[in-house]
Amino acid sequence: MTLPPSSALRARWLDALLPLVPFDGWTEAAAQDAAETAGLDAGERALAAPNGVADLVEAFFDAAEADVRAHLDVATLETLGVREKVAFGVRAWLDALAPNREAARKAGARGFLPWVAGDAVQRAWSVADTIWTGIGDTSEDYNKYSKRGLLAGVIPLIFLRWLDEDDEAALDAYIADRLTGAMTLGQNAGKFAAPLLDAMERLRSR
């Protein structure tokens, strides 16, 4: 697939920046050094990332989600239960970030912590949607939003645990616990919300 010029330039810039981030952070100075390394002139920088570092951080997480979609497209998940499929998707996302864990750590400070809650919500929802869609969820009703909302609620917790967890089994157990809690909450909430939504739909269709 041929990338649009802006995306191709952004990917080139990001490739040059990622080796610098563990040492210099997601800073404008590091971005400028990377742009010079990548041979991008001022016009190309403006086209690739008009908002500077913020756009490059977004591109970093977007690339991880693209990897997840590609991975889930070819994964054999038929024998897994729903919770196992979601856990598989979560691990696929973390594995996509793993080669650049320190860059993810520094990016996390911009995208998953309370003082940037707006960015955190948007990114967590995007990851959740990527995972649910990738494992074959096609729901379009209340379930679509509840599934994604509940998973989005635990994505930041899982991300932050992953940053400092070297024990793979412990991480898997943590993910399973968070997903069990989220899905149990969803089942209980659905008992009350689904009938209400059905009633509202009947009223709307009269």
For residue 139, what pLDDT is reported? 87
For residue 145, what pLDDT is reported? 87
For residue 90, what pLDDT is reported? 98
What span, in angstroms and rounded, lies between the C-alpha atoms of 91 and 169?
12
For residue 110, what pLDDT is reported? 73
Core vs surface per residue 106-131: b (16+ CB within 10 A) or e = bbbebbbeeeeeebbbebbbbbbbbb
For residue 184, what pLDDT is reported? 82
What span, in angstroms and rounded, lies between the C-alpha atoms of 82 and 129?
15
For residue 187, what pLDDT is reported? 59
Q: Do residues 143 and 170 make contact, with C-beta atoms less than 8 angstroms apart?
A: no
Token pair 């979560």 in the structure block, residue: 90
Look at residues 84, 98, 90 and name the one whose alpha carbon lies nearest to residue 71.
Answer: 90
The structure's pTM equals 0.86
For residue 183, what pLDDT is reported? 85
Give the list of residues 6+ apart from residue 125 with CB closer than 8 angstroms, or none. Answer: 148, 149, 152
Q: What is the pLDDT along the chain (206 residues), one digit of tens a residue?
A: 577 889 999 999 999 999 999 999 999 999 999 999 999 999 999 999 999 999 999 999 999 999 999 999 999 999 999 999 999 999 999 999 999 999 999 998 777 766 567 777 889 999 999 999 999 999 888 788 889 989 998 999 999 999 999 999 999 999 999 999 888 875 555 444 444 444 434 444 44
Q: What's the angle, vertex CA 69, arms to CA 73 and CA 182, rounded to 5?
A: 105
Q: Tell me, which fold does domain 53-205 have in CATH?
A: Tetracycline Repressor; domain 2 (1.10.357)
Distances (CA, A) of 28 to 19, 24, 50, 171: 15, 10, 12, 33
Helix 53-74 crosses helix 28-38 at what angle (to 10 degrees)? 70
Question: How do the domains of the chain map onto residue ranges?
Answer: 1-50, 53-205
For residue 50, what pLDDT is reported? 95
What span, in angstroms and rounded, lies between the C-alpha atoms of 156 and 60?
16
